Structure 1
Amino acid sequence: MLTALSIRDVVLIEALDLDFNDGLGVLTGETGAGKSILLDALGLALGSRADSGLVRHGTDRARVTASFAPLKAGHAALDLLDEAGIEVEPGEPLVIRREVKRDGGSRGFIADQPASAALLRDVGATLVEIHGQHDERGLLNPRGHRALLDAFGQIDLSSVAQSHGEWRAAETALAEARERLLNDVSEREWLDHSIAEIAALAPEAGEEEALAAARSDMQKGARLVDEMDGVDKLLAGSDGALAQLRAATRRLDRLAAEHPLFAEALAAFDRALIEAGEGEDSLSKAAEALRFDPAELDRIETRLFDLRALARKHRVEADGLAALLEDLTARRAAIDAGEQSLADLESRVARSQSAYRNAAEALHAARVKAAAALDKAVASELAPLKLDAAQFRTAVEPLDQSQWGPHGADRVEFLIATNPGAPFAGLMKIASGGELSRFLLALKVSLAEVGGAGTIIFDEIDRGVGGAVASAIGERLSRLSDSRQLLVVTHSPQVAARGTQHYMIAKTSDGTVARTGVRSLDAGERQEEIARMLSGADITDEARAQAARLMEVV
């Protein structure tokens, strides 16, 4: 609900602060007093185009601040603000501010945080509906008609939304499977070749490391054997060290009896011969251990090089070849099973599409039923509003399949025919602005319990009518104000008498500067203003009496 409006330097308004209550607020004043300026100022705060012509002459900027009652959790405006990263303290009024400079530049703020004009418009649309002769928002926009009909008929969309989600998920899975199968089929020849190539090599996990270690040991053994051959040449043979040591021992054996030291030397040489023999045995065993088959080394090297070359070809580690073979084999098997898999997915798509169709058909039937009820409700409101020759119809028509969605398969639009035999057309195509406003009122009254903005503004909805029709308009506005705040710019005393809050707009001039002002009227002032609306500039006692009677009827 709009609680306050502060305007500074907008056209003829120098400074204006207004407070609003719930119920029906009426704004009256003589023609040309500036009622449209008030609505233009509010529209500016709610994201309308920033026109530098709104800036009062002699000033550099215009400012408008609109305050709204704290919003309840779940309000659409709070969702928009949350998406935009604007924080609003729970329980605090929502304040929207807009400034326009003389050069046309503008700045917007919500809760004292910068906000774009687009965000002001989106948030403003959830807070205020402005219905004027050329307004193209709210009820006039066919894009919102389907949601209004669903709310009016209390139609549950969950079944359709769920079945639509399942259908789209099935279609996505099918499309992905087809793409995978198409790619795999195109690679069938490559897969067959790669599988055969890797399978022929039959790689095993850890094989590269084992082969590399065996190759390294063999290469090391070859080097050591060469070294051992040199040692053997020094030790073995008739001229070798061991043969010389044995010859020396035999000679000492003949001399040992001649001197004790010879005997000691002989004993040492004997021990050396024993140690040398043991060393010779160890060398023999080492030679046996290091001996390898060159053909085996060739086989190991060939196997190792083949593994590594194949790994490079497939851009994997050599130890990953076995896993790659499994993966390629699985992909090849998937090709063979692909047709059956596609058939299963196609069956799932068909089932889910059928389920969606059934849910959409049930939704369509519910909408048709709700449309008939809404048509009847609107029709009952037309005659009292001097629209008895007009007809209203809620069109529920099928959408092209490409446009089906979680909201069903219907396009909904409110249509009117202003004269018997005239074709039905959209609300925005009606010729008369006054008729349009009354149609909107009839529709809004019929949708009184359906969501929408908490504040509704009607601009001169009573234009061109009077008497009983004006009374009917006033009665319906009053009824509608029971469920939300209404502000009405009116020239009709019958409508003004219905107001629970009355504002008079007047223009004054000091001879050089004209100013527009607005003030809230008390009961006596209301009677005087309504009497003026009845009789014109010269207010008669009879007009005052009639004004009193109108106010008493209310």
Structure 2
Amino acid sequence: MGPPPTLRTMLRALEIRDMLIIDRLDLAFQPGLNVLTGETGAGKSILLDSLGFVLGWRGRAELVRSGAKQGEVTAVFELAPGHAARDVLDEAGLPVSDELILRRVNTADGRKTGWVNDRRASGEVLRRLSDVLVELHGQHDDRGLLNPSGHRAILDTYAGVGAELAATRAAWTARREARKRLAAAEAALAAVREEEDFLRHAVDELEKLGAEPGEEADLDLKRRTMQGAERIREDIARASEALGYDGAEGAMANALRWLDGAADKAEGRLEPAIAALTRAMAELDEAGREVADCLDALEFNPHELEETEERLFAIRGLARKHNVAPDALPELTETLSGRLAALDRGAEDIADLTREVKDADSAYDGAASALTEARAAAAGRLDAAMAAELAPLKMERAVFRTVISEGEPGPDGRDAVAFTVATNPGAPAGPLNKIASGGELSRFLLALKVCLSEERNRGVTMIFDEIDRGVGGATADAVGRRLKALADGGQVLVVTHSPQVAALGAHHWRVQKRVVEEMTLSTVTALGADDREDELARMLAGDTVTPEARAAARALLAG
């Protein structure tokens, strides 16, 4: 079953248990203008503190009522279809429905625990929900009128320049990255240029040597082999001679010849000896061949040993010079050659990156200029809207101007925005907090909020904390009527000391203090018609309510 057709986003209920001087309080708020009145110190600010607590605001540290184990606040909101709070809930993985219940507990030892629709939730989630559910405004709203750093954001909200802002921020990021790449390339090129002579000499030296991986080990083995051959070849040559014809081979051949000559007369007795000697001759011949082969293998050119040693020492010397292992010389050659190549093509790269920066600057200038134009157009509309709003607030002679000047370029453009005001004709314009009085500031803020509310969808409960302070009479009546207009179709909560404002409320609550068993407690009472008359008369007359005050109260309620 879908939501009822009258469903709107609003604060429907606020339940407070054991917070400061409130023991138990249940409030049912309504659409339109809700007013809360009461004597100073009665506890109106505690209501706002409690609401802020359940919304995750960072406020007072000690909120639990004296003697209680814990304090608890529950706020119930109705959510219209498509409201931004639904997206926050969905992103946080929390249940989404037409009813949003926020509950937060504060123990006496300071621990805070929050729930959203009966699911545990962090203070950060509560604050994100607060941002789309509630706006709190007071006489000294530093986030808005009094702080010039927030004026540009206010104008942008009014102007609806989301697309222009996104384009400008993207162009700023691209510009910053292009400049970063250019700066890095220039720094790298400068560093390479400082070692250009070294690089060219080192690369030339390394390339001429042309060392290969593993070559140093091969050369070292070859050198040691040739050095060893030089020491043993003489002994092997002597052995070869001893085995040859002038040595053992010749002697054995003579012995075999002599034995062959005597064999016929020895009646076969020499046959075994002749056979053994024949076998020995064969073995001797094989040994001679092996020794000869070894002599051939050990044969080398002394110049080859000299060349081997020279190259081995050159490789090792260059490795020591560059403080690397000999096998790392090929990799070093490649690295230094790459740096030299970067130097040679550096000027071309710098030129390309410079063009990129120029293009990025141009893109940013275009986006920022479009944003400036949109802001300028919106500033004119805002000034006209403010003039229309200030007149009913008894400030028809005041002049509100949105001044746009060139500021430091940044992701949000290059505009500085300041709200200025001249409260009287001919008087110089200046910053709001320097020119306007407290009562005037309240009306400027109210007018601005009315203007802003017309530029965006409803869906936020707006709370004004004594925004009418410092004004009275017809001016207070004008403030009340603008608050009533602002509440039309939405919900506004007003904490006020002005009977003129209170009389215009669609719903009225009175905040009072009472003493129970020597303990001060605060109560809030919903007022009917007769009670409202009593409360307005009290606000008009003070402690002693006169017939004239009652008559004035009835006149205010009659409108």
**Scaled by the length of structure 2, what TM-score is found?**
0.81
Inter-partner Cα distance in structure 1 for 2:366 and 2:114:
45
Residue 252 of structure 1 corresponds to: 259
Deviations 1:405-448 (A, max 9, x none): 12100011222222223333333335532221211111001000
SS of residue in 1 equivalent to 2:513: strand
| 1:457 corresponds to which of 443, 446, 463 | 463
Q: CA deviation at 1:498?
A: 4.4
Give the AA of the match of 1:259: E
Matched, 1:384 2:392: yes
Give the AA of the match of 2:502: A
| 1:38 corresponds to which of 40, 47, 50 | 47
Inter-partner Cα distance in structure 2 for 1:436 and 1:522:
33
Residue 12 of structure 1 corresponds to: 21
Inter-partner Cα distance in structure 2 for 1:268 and 1:70:
122
| 2:430 corresponds to which of 425, 431, 443 | 425
**Scaled by the length of structure 1, what TM-score is found?**
0.82
Matched, 1:177 2:185: yes
Deviations 1:54-92 (A, max 9, x none): 665x5478846364649989769959x99xxxx662428
Inter-partner Cα distance in structure 2 for 1:60 and 1:473:
40
Deviations 1:340-386 (A, max 9, x none): 43344333323322332233222212211110001101110001111
Matched, 1:437 2:455: no
Q: Quick one: structure 1 residues 61 and 166, their matched pair in 2 at CA, closer, same or farther if it must change by over 3 Å?
A: same
Residue 486 of structure 1 corresponds to: 492
Q: CA deviation at 1:473?
A: 2.9
Give the AA of the match of 1:404: P
SS of residue in 1 equivalent to 2:270: helix
What are the residue-to-residue correspondences of 1:515-534 with 2, within 5 Å? 515-521=521-527, 529=535
| 2:343 corresponds to which of 335, 338, 349 | 335
Contiguous gaps of at least 5 residues in structure 1: none
Residue 373 of structure 2 corresponds to: 365
Inter-partner Cα distance in structure 2 for 1:434 and 1:304:
94
Give the AA of the match of 2:467: I
Give the AA of the match of 1:130: L
Deviations 1:156-209 (A, max 9, x none): 223322322222122111211121122112112322332233233232455335
Inter-partner Cα distance in structure 1 for 2:306 and 2:499:
113
SS of residue in 1 equivalent to 2:73: strand
Residue 129 of structure 1 corresponds to: 135
Inter-partner Cα distance in structure 1 for 2:530 and 2:195:
91
Residue 318 of structure 2 corresponds to: 310
Residue 301 of structure 1 corresponds to: 309
Q: Quick one: structure 1 residues 348 and 494, their matched pair in 2 at CA, closer, same or farther if it must change by over 3 Å?
A: same
Is 173-182 or 19-28 further displaced after alignment? 19-28
Q: CA deviation at 1:134?
A: 3.0
Give the AA of the match of 1:276: L
Q: CA deviation at 1:501?
A: 3.9
What are the residue-to-residue correspondences of 1:111-126 with 2, within 5 Å? 111=115
Deviations 1:237-263 (A, max 9, x none): 64x333332232122102221222423
Q: Quick one: structure 1 residues 322 and 482, their matched pair in 2 at CA, closer, same or farther if it must change by over 3 Å?
A: farther
Give the AA of the match of 1:252: L
What are the residue-to-residue correspondences of 1:319-334 with 2, within 5 Å? 319-334=327-342
Give the AA of the match of 1:308: R
Q: CA deviation at 1:2?
A: 4.6
Residue 29 of structure 1 corresponds to: 38
Q: Quick one: structure 1 residues 376 and 352, their matched pair in 2 at CA, closer, same or farther if it must change by over 3 Å?
A: same
Inter-partner Cα distance in structure 1 for 2:78 and 2:333:
66
Inter-partner Cα distance in structure 2 for 1:163 and 1:151:
21
Q: Quick one: structure 1 residues 124 and 74, their matched pair in 2 at CA, closer, same or farther if it must change by over 3 Å?
A: closer
Q: CA deviation at 1:334?
A: 3.2
Residue 286 of structure 1 corresponds to: 294
Is 61-70 or 344-353 further displaced after alignment? 61-70
Contact 1:249 / 1:269 at 8 angstroms: preserved in 2?
Answer: yes
Residue 149 of structure 1 corresponds to: 155
Give the AA of the match of 1:50: R
Matched, 1:50 2:60: yes
Give the paired residue count: 534
Contact 1:496 / 1:530 at 8 angstroms: preserved in 2?
Answer: yes
Residue 520 of structure 2 corresponds to: 514
Contact 1:77 / 1:126 at 8 angstroms: preserved in 2?
Answer: no
Matched, 1:351 2:356: no
Give the AA of the match of 1:433: G
Q: Quick one: structure 1 residues 73 and 439, their matched pair in 2 at CA, closer, same or farther if it must change by over 3 Å?
A: closer
Give the AA of the match of 1:254: G
SS of residue in 2 equivalent to 1:487: strand
Contiguous gaps of at least 5 residues in structure 2: 1-9
Q: Quick one: structure 1 residues 548 and 127, their matched pair in 2 at CA, closer, same or farther if it must change by over 3 Å?
A: closer
Give the AA of the match of 1:325: T
Q: CA deviation at 1:458?
A: 0.8
Residue 195 of structure 1 corresponds to: 203
SS of residue in 2 equivalent to 1:384: coil
SS of residue in 2 equivalent to 1:385: coil
Q: CA deviation at 1:544?
A: 7.8
C-alpha root-mean-square deviation of aligned residues, in Å?
Answer: 3.9
Give the AA of the match of 2:483: L
Deviations 1:208-235 (A, max 9, x none): 3543453355456557646634643552
Give the AA of the match of 1:427: L
Contact 1:94 / 1:110 at 8 angstroms: preserved in 2?
Answer: no
